[in-house]
Structure 1
Amino acid sequence: MHKSLILFLILLINPLISVLAQDPSPWPAIRIERIKTLLPAALKTTGVDAWLVICRENNNDPLADHVGCENAGGTASFLFYHDKTGFHSLAFSPSSESTALDELDIHDTVISVDRSKSTMAEAATFIKEKGFKTLAINSSDTNAQADGLSYTQRKTLEGYLGTDFKGRLVSSEQVVYEWLSIKLPAEVEIMRKAAVLTAALQIEAYKHVIPGKTTDADVAAFLKKRMRELGVTDAWAPDQNPNVNSGPDRGHSHSTNKVIMPGDVIQTDFGIRVHDRWVTDIQRFAYVLQPGETKAPNHIQYAWESGRNGGFAAFKAMKPGVKGIEVDAAQSVMMKKAGSGYVPWSTGHPVGYVAHDTGPNLGGSRTKSVRPAAHKKLKVGMVFAFDGFHSWKRKDGTYKTISVEEMVVIKEKGAEYLIPPQQDIILIPSD
């Protein structure tokens, strides 16, 4: 086994201690810091005077636990705003939950509202008194995380605010974008440790492959077992995590019962969730040596190096102020030079609270349809998962794509890998 792979396995224990042993979760303190430091900047950047989040029991807003209303029973109203004295966070909470909420010290002020009264009505009165010119609410047709306000809640709110305020209501999607897309240094460090674990587990799984016997589903089952043992959960849909594929391209999919054979290239797309909050998204590739082989054949090695180099080109392009589509274009140039087949997927995406998080999309240069997020600029504190691509036609006419996936954080001078990138394709012996 390559020395770098052995090093990853040696490093397995320390990340486990760092990621899993911390109790209680760091989220409550991080959430407060995010509200106090990043949210005011998000409001100023978007030019919004105030942001209102309405929470409720059973069918809560997607951002409930980001603003501290995950335990809402009756309807609660959370307001974030700037005035002449600075930034403020104000919660109108049903009396039955207000004491516990106030004890958490998330918000500057918690106003207890008798359960016979409406927190939305109380919030609306305050909003009208302040005379905000713009009020952001969670209604969006582009960002599900900013679309938590139901139709009936909106109609009720509009009734309380009156017709004079109807034209002042704006979507919170830009506020949410600016707020969620940036991660605090403490959050990046948590994801860094989780990324080490994610990659190490994939390498551990490859050690257990027996060509001609082990199936893709067996490798996935091994990783599921290790996740349960270590107390981490899935970064995305459990049925598709991990996606282990030793055959032709399948895109985002589940692992099948295909038997892994000599000559196969194995793709493992895998992510974990730690502290029930932060996620990773990393791919590692392996080649199964055929009898008598000591290294990958030239065409496989070329595909590997081309994909890896495409990823390096994208990495070098990731700097503050660069648009997502420009990162994708940097890799597309390399793919064309290397003779890669067409790859429909974007070079990368934000990652953090979900696998495909809020932020710029690193795509669009190879497609006719370009997502609006591809024209967004990278900023310091954003975290991305991104792929190095090379696609080729197999003998049976199907395609296989190298898409080795790494994670980075954007710093002042450019991107920084969370963990060392995969430099060499992993070799699995068959005899």
Structure 2
Amino acid sequence: MRRLFLASVLATAPLVAQAPSDFTGPSPWPEIRRERITRLLPQAMREANVDAWVTFLRENANDPLALHVGGENAGSPAAVVFVRNGDRVRSVMISGFGEAIALRELGLHDSVVVYDRNSSTALMDAVASRLRASGARRIAINSGGSENVTDGLSHTQRIALERALGSEWTARLVPSEELVELWLQVKLPAEVAIMQRAAALTAQLEAEAYATVVPGVTKDSDVARFLKRRMRELGVEDGWSPAQNPSVNSGPDRGHSHASDRVIQHGDFIQTDFGIKVWDVWVTDIQRFAYVLRPGESAVPAEDLRRWEHARAGSRAAFAAMRPGVTGAQVDSAQRVVMNRAGSASVPWGTGHSVGYWAHDAGPNLNRRETRALREGMTFAFDGFYAWALPGGSTTWGEGTKTLSPEEMVVITATGAEWLVPPQDSLILIRPRR
């Protein structure tokens, strides 16, 4: 049943003329964004008990959600006001004159109106007028909450909005965190198909990078540079901060960090944590592990193989636990039971996180504190863990520890989880060079 889901996703997704690894053609985002606003936003606003939502846009220091509401090219300060009317949402973009023609041609919003830039309060006055006319009881703004992407409203903007609204209407303002999470955490089938292609390319590039390793010569940073070059050749971008993507590490644990100049040696495990961004929208987050055979070895030594198998078993336990209605804490617990039973040292990470528009996306995490439930259409990156102390090290993470943490990507279906790309079952073996 699970395999049928991705088959149906691909069948309903827009046909892609390029090769699966080619993301250089026209972006499907404009149509997908329009469908997300039409299909998913009304339900999210209803579930969050929100009647209106306003997002302010500006040049150079834009709101993190600008791309999702059609304001990524803001020049003059602007705002988008969404108003829920039953099962439909109507939207208006209030912009400066310089952007109005392009915004109308974009066709994303029901209307685009121009405010008078000769007045310093014109934009806020126009927003306040629209909100009052809507009769909204609860108005979401991107301020407050724990999600960084839903806290884009500046202090200055908030003061100006409250001044324009007055005390009675200011009392109706609520953080947009719940609304935005409900809206962004579920991906459309066409998006899942794109993420599947991007995940396949990510895993392919990691395998290519490992094929370049010469033990005793190649440095972790060389592997990282190879991946950077391949990204440029393919026209894809970094899945997160370029300085730390990819994170390649053949030595003791370093956490989220840049690749060092450590020379890869026989007997090393190599960890590559890597993600790409395609069409400037969707990102991946996958880890692949390799083992460097010593001269005379034809297979991974028994103890090292046991460590790998425990990490893989934790990953499979998390995968088996994922289905609609299960909380992130329950998934994390399933993985930790396996990890603890295997005698792993503790790690500071949760089992996984939402992934999609950012490597750490809006939506539930898979950790021991997460009470939110998984839903069909959510996408996750998650690990299985096995950690131990290296000779002379400590079992306290980061103090001479080594952790195996194969990281995979899945989509949640009606019956469980579905891999976006085949998971890593075996270590990639790097053989001695003569």
* Residue 390 of structure 1 pairs with residue 386 of structure 2: yes
Change (3 A) 1:209 1:84: closer
* Residue 92 of structure 1 pairs with residue 94 of structure 2: yes
Tell me, in whole angstroms, the C-alpha distance in 2 between the residues paired with 1:33 and 1:66: 11
Q: Which residue of 2 aligns with 1:4?
A: none
Contact 1:76 1:120 in 2 (8 A): no
Name the SS for the 1:119 alignment partner: helix
Tell me, in whole angstroms, the C-alpha distance in 2 between the residues paired with 1:36 and 1:81: 12
Q: Which residue of 1 aligns with 2:179?
A: 175
Alignment of 1:408-427 (within 5 A): 408-427=410-429
Gaps of 5+ in 1: 1-13, 365-369
* Paired AA for residue 399 in structure 1: T
Superposition deviation, residue 301 in structure 1: 0.5
Tell me, in whole angstroms, the C-alpha distance in 1 between the residues paired with 2:290 and 2:168: 63
Change (3 A) 1:168 1:313: same
Tell me, in whole angstroms, the C-alpha distance in 2 between the residues paired with 1:85 and 1:100: 28
Q: Which residue of 1 aligns with 2:164?
A: 160
Tell me, in whole angstroms, the C-alpha distance in 1 between the residues paired with 2:17 and 2:389: 39
Name the SS for the 2:203 alignment partner: helix
Superposition deviation, residue 106 in structure 1: 0.1
* Paired AA for residue 91 in structure 1: M
Q: Choose the corresponding residue for 2:371, options 354, 370, 375.
A: 375
Q: Which residue of 1 aligns with 2:192?
A: 188
* Residue 55 of structure 1 pairs with residue 53 of structure 2: no
Q: Which residue of 1 aligns with 2:250?
A: 246
Deviations 1:218-259 (A, max 9, x none): 111111111111111111111111111111111111111111
Q: Which residue of 1 aligns with 2:110?
A: 108
Q: Which residue of 1 aligns with 2:349?
A: 345
TM-score by length of 2: 0.91
* Residue 147 of structure 1 pairs with residue 143 of structure 2: no
Change (3 A) 1:33 1:219: same
Tell me, in whole angstroms, the C-alpha distance in 1 between the residues paired with 2:88 and 2:241: 41
Contact 1:20 1:274 in 2 (8 A): no
Name the SS for the 1:266 alignment partner: strand
Change (3 A) 1:19 1:36: farther
Tell me, in whole angstroms, the C-alpha distance in 2 between the residues paired with 1:17 and 1:103: 30
Contact 1:384 1:409 in 2 (8 A): yes
- State which drifts further: 45-54 or 115-124: 115-124
Change (3 A) 1:121 1:428: same
Contact 1:281 1:406 in 2 (8 A): yes
Superposition deviation, residue 15 in structure 1: 11
Deviations 1:389-430 (A, max 9, x none): 111222232211110000001111111000110011111111
Tell me, in whole angstroms, the C-alpha distance in 2 between the residues paired with 1:214 and 1:74: 49
* Residue 227 of structure 1 pairs with residue 231 of structure 2: yes
Superposition deviation, residue 73 in structure 1: 2.2
* Paired AA for residue 387 in structure 1: D
Tell me, in whole angstroms, the C-alpha distance in 1 between the residues paired with 2:23 and 2:147: 34
Tell me, in whole angstroms, the C-alpha distance in 2 between the residues paired with 1:92 and 1:133: 21
Runs of 4+ displaced beyond 3 Å: none
* Residue 307 of structure 1 pairs with residue 303 of structure 2: no
Q: Which residue of 1 aligns with 2:396?
A: none
Superposition deviation, residue 16 in structure 1: 7.8
- State which drifts further: 342-351 or 93-102: 93-102
Contact 2:24 2:235 in 1 (8 A): no
- State which drifts further: 140-149 or 346-355: 140-149
Superposition deviation, residue 307 in structure 1: 0.4
Deviations 1:151-207 (A, max 9, x none): 111111111111111211100111111111111111111111111111111111111
* Residue 283 of structure 1 pairs with residue 287 of structure 2: yes
Name the SS for the 1:384 alignment partner: strand
Superposition deviation, residue 21 in structure 1: 4.7
Q: Which residue of 1 aligns with 2:13?
A: none
Give % identity: 54
Change (3 A) 1:291 1:271: same
* Paired AA for residue 339 in structure 2: M
Alignment of 1:324-339 (within 5 A): 324-339=328-343
Contact 2:42 2:88 in 1 (8 A): no
Superposition deviation, residue 341 in structure 1: 1.1
Task: Give the aligned CA root-mean-square deviation in angstroms.
Answer: 1.6
Contact 1:15 1:197 in 2 (8 A): no
Superposition deviation, residue 113 in structure 1: 2.6
Contact 2:23 2:278 in 1 (8 A): no
Tell me, in whole angstroms, the C-alpha distance in 1 between the residues paired with 2:415 and 2:292: 39
Gaps of 5+ in 2: 1-15, 394-399
Contact 2:94 2:126 in 1 (8 A): yes
